[in-house]
Structures are given as structure tokens and as C-alpha cells.
Chain A
Amino acid sequence: EAGVTQSPTHLIKTRGQQVTLRCSPISGHTSVYWYQQALGLGLQFLLWYDEGEERNRGNFPPRFSGRQFPNYSSELNVNALELEDSALYLCASSARGGWNTGELFFGEGSRLTVL
């Protein structure tokens, strides 16, 4: 069974540009989570999607947005990139009920460098 897949694995952008990161959850999982892991800051919760709806959002500005498609895949968009957006962006998926009933399965992440 395929795990959570993320693309691209690495990318370099310049300040002010826009980026789209993609995530495919494990088959059968309806919840997708996005986390940002910047150096020294641990994992910061970004977004939670379930059944196509945004269920919760972390303390990030509106230029961080996303969506979940009918096939439960998801994308994260970041507009007007800033240097501090450089981080590993991790996507995770879970079965219905989410973290409250079980574990999150993580992808390998997309490493974004903003110059």
C-alpha cells in the first residue's frame, strides 16, 4: 500500500513568488493535515482538511491557503513568499476521526528554500 506522497521534494523560490505543494493521502484516508517545520521551531500546525472541508487552521497569515479535492488529495499554496517561509512542509493523513482515534501518517515532506 502506498504511503503519503508529497511533491515536489525540493524547490527553490525567490521572495515574492508563489508556490504550490501537493499531497496524496493513503488510500481510504479522508483527513489531510499540513505542518510547517522550520529550523529550530518544531512542527507548526497549518491546516486540517476532512471530506473536502477546512476543519481547522493554525496561526498563519492568509497567504497560506489550501484545498482538498474530491479524491482527498490536497494542495498547499503560499503566496508572496518571505525568507522565513523556508522550511520543510509536511503533509499527513489519517482515517476518519483523525488524530482523536489514531495516528497520523506523514509524507517525506517538501523542502522549500526562499532566497
Chain B
Amino acid sequence: SQQGEEDPQALSIQEGENATMNCSYKTSINNLQWYRQNSGRGLVHLILIRSNEREKHSGRLRVTLDTSKKSSSLLITASRAADTASYFCATGGSNYKLTFGKGTLLTVNP
């Protein structure tokens, strides 16, 4: 079964707008990671946030983590057409595996 569940499943925005994706999970975690996948390709790591962290930034990316609500959000600011991809959250916990959600398909229209 999937641990993380992204919301929404698909998101379409205009270039320059911000994109927010959410991830909910069910059990305790050690860390939560976000990955990006261009169509049919391998995944690329974006950012990792540990369970004792609440917010993290990397360039145009901002990730928040609320362990009390078992949720995380990924914000991409000033989106570009090149940001079009699927975005996955992945949770690592005591079950000794990194579990991925089904992803959010982001389309950024020029």
C-alpha cells in the first residue's frame, strides 16, 4: 500500500504562477523527500526534510512538514514551462523502505 498520497492528482497553471502540491501520509516517518519525474524518465531528488524540521527552502522550492497532521506541502514559486513534470513525495520510516505516492502531474502553460 502507498504511504504518501499527493493532492491534487493534476494541476495546470500559467507560467509565473505558484504551484502548491500536498502530501499526506499515515505512519511515523524519519524523513520526507520530494522527487520530480519528467515523462517516462527517472526520478530526480528535489529536497529532503527531516521529521524534526518544519520548513526547508531550495531555490524556488519551499517544503513544509507538519508531523502532527502527517502532511507536507511543496511550493514552486514563479513556475516555468520547464517545471512541467510529475512530482512525488516519498516517506522513509521504520519499515526500512522509501515509499512513494502516486504523484501530482504539474502542467505549466507558457
User: Which residues of A does B touch, CB under 8 Å?
Assistant: 4, 33, 35, 40-43, 45, 48, 55-56, 58, 88, 90, 92, 98-100, 102-109, 111
Contact = CB atoms under 8 A, between A and B. Distances in A.
B97 A56 contact: yes
Nearest to B4: A42
Interface of B: 2, 30-31, 33, 35, 40-45, 48, 88, 90, 92, 95-103
A102 B42 contact: no
A42 B100 contact: yes
Given A42-B102, A43-B88, A58 B42 contact: no
B96 A55 contact: yes
A66 to B, nearest CB: 15
A103 B100 contact: no
Contacts of B30: 100
A48 B42 contact: no
B44 A106 contact: yes
A47 to B, nearest CB: 10
